[in-house]
């Protein structure tokens, strides 16, 4: 089986390197320091099988990046996981971020790397097995 391509978008270099080193065991990993840097890859034709991104980053935050990805022809089916240290104790409660995102999954830091592996694999499999809505049928088959 080929290795999935995973894009890691994280401004904290220590966290980015940790994620890269952990994920590269099972996946082909590309990394970017923020949404602007990630879009340079996307603009050059890079299409990851999944994206793992931080929420709060300079230049382009995770929410804005996810919204922009979802507006592309390729991005509607790309699994996206948002990781963040934003909690209910911060200025903006975590549930506000979660409800406003177009990401597939929202995980609060610190994360268990095994949970991230499982989430990536589950979301990629789900997207590969997804059959788009048939025009006029009102249903879809995701088996």
* pLDDT tens per residue, range 83-129: 987 665 555 555 555 565 688 988 888 889 999 999 999 999 988 77
User: pTM of the entire structure?
Assistant: 0.82
Q: Report residue 66's pLDDT band, with 50, 70 and 90 as the boundaries.
A: very high
Tell me: pLDDT of 139 over 50.
Answer: no
**Stretch 59-63: mean pLDDT, rounded?**
88
Of 81, 85, 84, 37, give the one whose Cα is nearest residue 59.
37
The helices-and-strands tally (H runs, E runs) of the chain is: 5, 5
Polymer length of the chain: 143
* Rounded (5°) CA angle 105-137-132: 35
Tell me: pLDDT of 42 over 50.
Answer: yes
Count of CB atoms within 10 A of residue 90's CB?
A: 13
């Amino acid at each position: 089986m080929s290795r999935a391509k995973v894009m890691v978008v994280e401004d904290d270099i220590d966290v980015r390197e940790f994620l890269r080193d952990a994920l590269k065991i099972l996946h082909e990993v590309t990394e970017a320091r923020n949404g602007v840097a990630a879009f340079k890859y996307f603009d050059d034709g890079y299409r990851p099988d999944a994206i793992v991104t931080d929420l709060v980053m300079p230049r382009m935050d995770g929410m804005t990046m996810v919204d922009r990805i979802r507006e592309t022809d390729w991005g509607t089916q790309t699994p996206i996981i948002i990781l963040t240290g934003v909690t209910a104790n911060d200025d903006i409660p975590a549930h506000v971020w979660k409800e406003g995102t177009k990401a597939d999954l929202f995980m609060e830091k610190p994360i268990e790397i095994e949970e991230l592996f499982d989430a990536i694999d589950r979301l990629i499999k789900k997207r590969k097995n997804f059959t788009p809505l048939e025009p006029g049928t009102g249903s879809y088959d995701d088996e």
